[in-house]
Amino acid sequence: MNILLVGSGGREHALAWKIAQSPRITKLYIAPGNPGTAQCGTNIDIKVNDFNALGKFARENSVNIIVVGPEDPLANGIADYFAADAELQHIAIAGPSQRGAMLESSKDFAKDFMMKHKIPTARYATFSRDGREQGFDFLAKLQAPYVLKADGLAAGKGVIITESLDEARTALCEMLDGKFGEASSKVVIEEYLTGIEVSVFVLTDGQAYKLLPEAKDYKRIGEGDSGLNTGGMGAVSPVPFADATFMDKVCKRIVEPTLAGLKQENIQYKGFIFFGLMNCAGEPYVIEYNVRMGDPETEAVMARLDADLPDLFEGVAQENLHERRCGTLPHTAVTLVSVSGGYPGDYQKGKGIEIAPSSDDSTLIFHAGTRLDADGKLVTSGGRVFAVTATGNSIEQARTKAYKALDRITFEGKYYRRDIGNDLTEL
Ligand code: AMP
Ligand code: GLY
């Protein structure tokens, strides 16, 4: 089987690492990939939204399945593009149609979908440019803190949470006036949910689904969950509170109604669904849907996935996923992300990277924002530079190993959080 994986971050390195282990893989291509994915397959220099070039490459290289890492090409309709072309139709896409991708690309669409299908989520209302007075009235009826979300994709930055009603009103005006461009031409205002977050992942062929290991993500830049939101500074899997009782509620109240809703609305959906959930006193609520795997959650989840990933993708393509085996390894995985100094604000790129050798080859070093410079030397090229994953019998054990591995990586300005997993060990 030949797979073309689209994307270039830590998530894609982790997916490539897992895919490459399968005896069923003949060729793995990654577009555009990074120096890490180059260790797992062949990087090809095509951008993730260049559907023409991806189609041409896939046809000429007998690609069977395209696995889409990030949301952007999905929101731009990569699955529809392939489905509409007679010469590309035979190539399966592990990723939803453009309409399916709206679960992530439009918060208003996602909230409306959840209401229609009775999926637990925070109460909300959506306001557009001519509705700010109604927005003020709605805010006045809510209790602090106030949650405002840009409707469209805003690179994870489109959510504002504030304690002050005045700030919430100002934020609403700024958003409607274009703070996040077209993405905030509509704003969802919702009730604040109190609890602990957990990321739940499934892979579906449109009928059946496989539940993948869950994970907890650490979104804020600072220790103790302080400071600005980032793409994610670390992940832990499993999540102790996501026990059988909780996960049963998640499947029955959230995963299954979501899949049934997609079918009922005739929305083509094959691929990953990422449920961003809040555990509110033992009851799961959906905070957001994503139509892809999480980053850095994937780097922890892949270390626990007991399955042949290409076999699962083939099950998605052939719509017989229920016949494929998908298990979870019992060990704990901890992922730590090292970032460029200044991230998520401005930061410098092009800093030389050294990775000290080690006799412990059980720790995984996933490249996120790295590249090779003109001399072939590894340098930083993004905010999140590496994700390091270690496994162990407990969070403490895995974490100790992961921090040791992170110490082997040096680059100027390197920053990471030292408290990943602390909250879970203190529970
Ligand atoms: P989102 O992009 O929708 O995942 O929101 C970003 C982050 O804001 C989430 O991961 C939560 O930490 C927080 N958040 C979003 N919606 C709510 C809510 N209704 N109540 C509490 N926190 C929220
Ligand atoms: N780690 C959160 C995300 O991938 O959106």
Is the pLDDT at 156 greater than 80? The verdict is no
Domain with CATH 3.40.50.20 in the chain: 2-96
Residue 291 alpha carbon to ligand 2 centre in Å: 11
pLDDT per position as a tens digit, 249-268? 999 999 999 999 999 999 99
- pLDDT at residue 361, rounded to an integer: 74
pLDDT per position as a tens digit, 70-127? 999 999 999 999 999 999 999 999 999 999 999 999 999 999 999 999 999 999 999 9
Mean pLDDT of 380-404: 97
Is the pLDDT at 276 greater than 90? The verdict is yes
- Greatest mean pLDDT among 10-19, 159-168, 359-368 lies in 10-19
Domain with CATH 3.30.470.20 in the chain: 196-328
Pairwise CA distance, residues 393 & 23, whole Å: 28
- Of residues 72, 55, 186, the one with CA closest to residue 127: 186
Sign of the Cα torsion 95, 81, 106, 72 reads positive
CB 195 within 8 A of CB 278: yes
**Angle CA(218)–CA(222)–CA(228) in degrees, nearest 5?**
85
**CA distance readout (Å), 191 to 115, 132, 149, 220, 322:** 14, 17, 11, 21, 37
CB 85 within 8 A of CB 129: no
pLDDT per position as a tens digit, 297-309? 999 999 999 999 9
Residue 111 alpha carbon to ligand 1 centre in Å: 13
Give me the residue label for tokens 């790295």.
Answer: 370
Domain with CATH 3.90.600.10 in the chain: 332-425
CA within 13 Å, CB half, 192: 14
- pLDDT at residue 155, rounded to an integer: 79
pLDDT per position as a tens digit, 183-205? 999 999 999 999 999 999 999 99
- pLDDT at residue 425, rounded to an integer: 84
Superfamily of domain 125-190 in the CATH hierarchy: ATP-grasp fold, A domain (3.30.1490.20)
122 lines ligand 1 (CB under 6 A): yes
Give me the residue label for tokens 């109460």.
Answer: 123
Superfamily of domain 196-328 in the CATH hierarchy: ATP-grasp fold, B domain (3.30.470.20)
Mean pLDDT of 277-294: 97
| Phi, psi angles (nearest 5°) of residue 310 | -60, -35
Mean per-residue pLDDT of the chain: 96
Give the right CATH number for 332-425 from 2.120.10.30, 3.90.600.10, 3.30.1380.10, 3.20.10.10: 3.90.600.10
Q: Which ligand is nearest to the CA of 218?
A: 2
- pLDDT at residue 360, rounded to an integer: 77
pLDDT per position as a tens digit, 24-54? 999 999 999 999 999 999 999 999 999 999 9
- pLDDT at residue 229, rounded to an integer: 87
220 lines ligand 1 (CB under 6 A): no
- pLDDT at residue 426, rounded to an integer: 67
Is the pLDDT at 427 greater than 60? The verdict is no
Residue 1 alpha carbon to ligand 1 centre in Å: 39
Q: Using N-to-C axis directions, what is the helix angle for 98-105 and 107-116, rounded to 10°? A: 100
Residue 293 alpha carbon to ligand 2 centre in Å: 8
Domain with CATH 3.30.1490.20 in the chain: 125-190
104 lines ligand 2 (CB under 6 A): no
- pLDDT at residue 354, rounded to an integer: 97
pLDDT per position as a tens digit, 330-350? 999 999 999 999 999 999 999
Q: Which ligand is nearest to the CA of 71?
A: 2
Q: What is the 3-state secondary structure (H, E, C) of 85-103?
A: CCCCCCCEEECCCHHHHHH
Sign of the Cα torsion 287, 291, 292, 295 reads negative
Q: How many helices (H) and strands (E) does the chain have?
A: 14, 26
Instruction: List beta partners, residue 229.
Output: 220
| Structure tokens that stand for 225 in this block | 């969950």
What is 2-96's CATH number?
3.40.50.20
pLDDT per position as a tens digit, 209-220? 999 999 999 999
Q: What is the pTM of this model?
A: 0.97
Pairwise CA distance, residues 183 & 189, whole Å: 14
Instruction: List beta partners, residue 27.
Output: 2
- Of residues 210, 224, 207, 237, the one with CA closest to residue 304: 237
- The number of the ligand 2 atom at minimal distance from the alpha carbon of 296 is 1
pLDDT class of 362 with cuts at 50, 70, 90:
confident
Is the pLDDT at 143 greater than 80? The verdict is yes
